[in-house]
Amino acid sequence: MSTTSNMNLTLKVWKQKNKDTKGKFETYNAKGISPDMSFLEMFDVVNEGLISDGKEPIAFDHDCREGICGMCSMYINGRPHGPKQGVTTCQLHMRSFKDGDTIVVEPWRSAAFPVIKDLAVDRSSFDRIMAAGGFVSVNTGNAKDANNILIPKPEADEAFEAAACIGCGACVAACKNSSAMLFVSAKVSQLALLPQGKIEAQQRVWDMVHQMDEEGFGNCTNTGACEAECPKSISLENIARMNREYLISTAISKK
């Protein structure tokens, strides 16, 4: 355990009953917070205090608490997942804050991510985009031998980097236009870069982009905020690839 002294913090947290009601900020005191706690553990402490006082705890999403599930959607002090780069909220530690700080915590704000309760948002719009085209069609039967389709290492690496996307929605939250293009482009790219995915690439990009538009996400203006805030450092190159694939798909379609 660390010997540095514990901190007292003020939290300004968004409280909202459900997607149909208007939310508002409420202030909480977080007392005796260890700098070694994760941001979510700090919330656990605050919630335990609220529960023991007979008050309603703050609702927030979390699952793996090791930076791979993408659930911990908190917009902290004006940035998704807080002040550090390349981390999710569960990987953010309280040593990033100082004793006496006021921390503003909001949910992802996007028409396509309605608030379920407080800080928990409904990201099923991402699931519907995936269902529209984020897959490859394969025959059932025995599994094929590994590596029977040779893939150049650099391409495999690029596809892997795109596939690192955990669908957390920080790109949408960071974007001033609430655009989902970094997410969709990563999903388009991870498949389009590999031979198994190339076969359906044209139809896929069309279907996924149109589902994205239908969900009510905004339009990309290339500010690069998504790339800067992405916990998995997904590159803007993917957005260019998606644009390119979409333009070519439109240009050469027979309909």
Q: List residues near another protein by CB under 8 A.
A: 12, 14, 23, 25, 75, 77-79, 83, 104, 106, 109-112, 174, 176-179, 181, 202-203, 206, 209-210, 212-213, 216-225, 228-229, 236-237, 239-247, 249-250, 253-255
> Of 30 and 209, which CB lies nearer to another protein in the complex structure?
209
> Of 156 and 247, which CB lies nearer to another protein in the complex structure?
247
> Of 31 and 244, which CB lies nearer to another protein in the complex structure?
244
CB of 114 to another protein, least distance (A): 10
The answer to whether the beta carbons of residues 190 and 159 sit under 8 Å apart is: yes
H, E, C per residue of 155-184: HHHHHHHHHCCCCCCHHHHHCCCCCCHHHH
CB of 125 to another protein, least distance (A): 11
Sign of CA dihedral 125, 129, 132, 134: negative
Question: Six-digit token pair at 5?
Answer: 């002294």
CB of 246 to another protein, least distance (A): 5
CB of 49 to another protein, least distance (A): 24
C-alpha to C-alpha distance for 210 and 230, rounded to whole angstroms = 23
> Of 49 and 116, which CB lies nearer to another protein in the complex structure?
116
> Of 2 and 85, which CB lies nearer to another protein in the complex structure?
85
CA distances (Å), origin 71, targets 1, 8, 67:
27, 26, 9
Length of the chain: 255
The answer to whether the beta carbons of residues 62 and 72 sit under 8 Å apart is: yes
The answer to whether the beta carbons of residues 211 and 148 sit under 8 Å apart is: no
CB of 141 to another protein, least distance (A): 30
